[in-house]
Amino acid sequence: MITFIRRGLLGLALAAAPVASAQEALPLSEGWRFVKRDVAGAERPGFDDAGWSRVAVPHTYNAEDSGIGGAKARGEPEGVYYRGPAWYRLKIDHKPRAATRYLLHFGGATLTADVWLNGEKVGSHEGGYAAFRFDVTGKLKAGENLLAVRVDNAKNPQISPLNGDFNIFGGLYREVKLIATPELHFDRLDHAGPGIKVRTEALGKGSATVGLTAAVVNDRAAPATFQIVTRIADAQGKVVATQRSPLTLAPGARGTADQRFTLRSPKLWEGRKSPYLYRVTSEVVAGGKAIDSQTAPLGIRTVAVKPDGTFLLNGKRYPLYGVNLQMPTRYGRGPIVTQAEIDEDLQIFDEMGVTGIRLAHMQHPQRVYDRADELGILLLTEVPLIDDHDQSDAFRTNLVQQMRELIAQTYNNPSVALWGIGNEIRVSDAASNRILADLNTTAKTLDPLRPTTYAHCCLDDNDPIALHSDTVSYNRYFGWYWTKSEDIGPWADELHAKMPTRPIGVSEYGAGASILHQEDPVVTRPESNGYWHPEQYQTDFHIKHWLEMKKRPFLWSTFIWLGIDFPSFKRNEGDRPAINDKGLVTEDRQTKKDAYYWYQANWAEKPMLHITSRRDTDKRTSQVKVMAFSNLPSIELRLNGGAWKTVPVEDRMAKWTIELTKGENRVEARARTPEGTLLTDHVTWRYATRP
């Protein structure tokens, strides 16, 4: 066993113990020194950083920039926030042990990171959203070590994204840790993946075929003969299958073992209905002892999309609908979020009833994928190719690297259903088409079992840009940026008629809304980049869109833009600058807008009841229309303690016209579930003939 001892602000110590086992890791979180500028010589151990700030990692140097925004559409400069280099330094106290390898792990650094240990450069990484690792075994010394990292979030023509409606938060914004492994070990340096890849290869009648590939590296000075022993355990921990594969590796060699399992009467991972998870454990066994191990979730499931647009989970039609989520952030902290806060975000939309989430527009924290596995929410996850591209081979090569990292690090998550190769490329030229072709080929080569997709916009619907991936979805904002909401249906019909064997979906649709802006009823469509974004317009937009889309089963997926309001330096609209307010939930997660409950009424299994326009408290006229959302067949309404009136629910809506009295009015709703539970809701509205 390798143990780790924390030594105050010096970082860590690694203490020897009798037996080496699986990897051990210690977070390198406390004791960092930081400065937000470029500094010559800061990589040197003897450099004086006494005047730098003390910070804990994860850390971003753009936390205070979230409220800066401006809109070019009104002739304003876009919000300006710091995009440039910064330095981090940490002292590490190390006790080396024999026959042990040491890896530095970075969960994410935006956008480039250069890493030195004791003044010697150990590596660089380009790309802001994937984990990366460096082997520092020969560079760590006994006693004090100095780790220095230069991070730079400046725009770089060779690194995607080059554009995007979101902030690029610079820093070591995910975990940093030191990993210790034995010399004979699973390959954790292959794009920072776990060294094992597990998959459902086929479902039969009463059986499932599961495949696993394990990659092992022999860093010993002598040849190694050993076994890869893999066990599959059910949710209760009972081992249901075991495989052993002998392997011999020369010094410095890397080898792989492929294993196959047949599970009888398996429990399937069935999305929301039953997200059953097995656990896979693979061990390197040498001399009768397990010296290294890795684990992975196993959800026994298959995914596919038919040419007619039918999405299949385990060979059965499974409607795929949900929201887009930007990378998890919190105001004033940016991407520095806890696992509990990530869980909070996913729980909100689990309760809404989503079957899927599109993770825009980059690789998200690992906890997002793991929690989606547990909840049964399918994910579309994509590389950050957004809007613009560079013509260079270096740019394309970097994107392929980011795709390799995304797949290596999330391959084992059964929630991952499709790989996204890009979003809204605005120019269809040779370079952009080659980029998409290479990304699609990379994804299909590394993972032929999952479909690929692309989010298309701003060029012809059947432009070659939209034809590289297995499926295509469209970012369409009828009724917000153009025409009217109902046009989503005829557009989809026309496109499907034009491409009847091409799976098409809707990757983005949405409208802005501020809970501070109330207008019931809405008279005209608000300006998308204006300062008035009434909540009721968003509600009407989504009612009309869903009523159209649910009638068109050839749409293989539909994803709302967006789940939660998030910061964007490009915006100054709605009730404040620097916010994209198309979310169904406010940025602070405290308020679910009315449109959220519209989808909950349509998608959730749990009975619900919600009266809309509760924030429109002062009514202009005495005669108003009450609208409530519910997934029950009827509800009861009453005004000011009067008689209850039964109102039928049609298309998940109950409507009732009432006459308000002067002063405060209390509108109540109730409904009883089939199990006998009474649901209630109420709002208070005021009516006055004079202010």
Q: DSSP characters for 595-616?
A: HHHHHHHHH-SS--EEES-TT-
Domain 196-298: state its class.
mainly beta
- Which are the contacts of 74, defined by CB distance < 8 A and separation ≥ 6? 529, 572
pLDDT for 691: 63
Cβ-count burial of 461 within 10 angstroms (0-12 exposed, 13-18 middle, 19+ buried)? Answer: middle
Q: Is the distance from CB of 282 to CB of 232 less than 8 angstroms?
A: no
Name the burial class of residue 564, with classes exposed (0-12), middle (13-18) and buried (19+) by CB atoms within 10 angstroms of its CB: buried
Architecture of the CATH domain 303-606: Alpha-Beta Barrel (3.20)
Cβ-based neighbour number of residue 30 at 10 Å: 16
Residues 6+ apart with CB under 8 A from 617: 518, 684, 685, 686
Q: CA-to-CA distance for 516 and 55, rounded, in angstroms?
A: 36
- Nearest of 321, 561, 329, 579 to residue 423 by alpha carbon: 561
Locate CATH 3.20.20.80 in the chain.
303-606
Q: Report pLDDT for 22.
A: 59
Compute φ and ψ for 80, nearest 5 degrees.
-110, 125
CATH 2.60.40.10 segments of the chain? 196-298, 618-687
Structure tokens given for 36: 């937000």
* 354 to 273, 335, 543, 603, 605: CA distances (angstroms): 12, 24, 16, 7, 10
Residue type, 412: N
CATH match for 24-182 among 3.40.50.2300, 2.60.120.260, 2.60.40.3500, 3.30.70.3450: 2.60.120.260
Coil, helix or strand for 36? Answer: coil
Architecture of domain 618-687: Sandwich (2.60)
Q: What is the largest CA-CA distance in the chain?
A: 92
Backbone angles phi, psi at 290, to 5 degrees: -80, 115
- Do 588 and 512 contact (CB within 8 A), yes or no? no
Contact 285, 226 (CB under 8 A): yes
Q: Are 376 and 271 in contact (CB under 8 A)?
A: yes
pLDDT tens digits, 146-167: 999 999 999 999 999 999 999 9
Annotation says 424 is catalytic: yes
Rounded CA separation 134/136 (Å): 6
Q: Where in the chain is the domain with CATH 2.60.120.260?
A: 24-182
* Other Cβ atoms within 10 Å of 101 Cβ, number: 20
What is the rounded CA–CA span in Å between residue 532 and residue 617?
Answer: 17
Given the residues 175, 424, 535, 587, the one annotated as active site: 424
Cα 167 to Cα 338: distance, rounded to the nearest angstrom: 19
Peptide bond before 111: cis, by omega within 30 degrees of 0? yes
Q: Where are the strands (E) in 613-677, listed by range? A: 618-619, 623-630, 634-639, 645-648, 653-659, 663-672
What is the model's pLDDT at position 447? 98
H/E segment holding residue 218: strand 207-218
Bridge-partner residues for 101, per DSSP?
A: 181
Residue with tokens 């480039």: 112
Q: What is the pLDDT of residue 72?
A: 78
Q: Which residues of the chain have pLDDT under 50?
A: 1-21
115 burial type by CB count under 10 A (0-12 exposed, 13-18 middle, 19+ buried): buried
Question: Tokens 């995914």 belong to which residue?
Answer: 303
Residue with token string 């066993």: 1
DSSP letter at 72? G
pLDDT of 4: 33
Rounded to whole angstroms, the Cα distance separating 161 from 477 reads 23
Centroid of chain to Cα 600: 21
Length of the chain in terms of residues written: 691
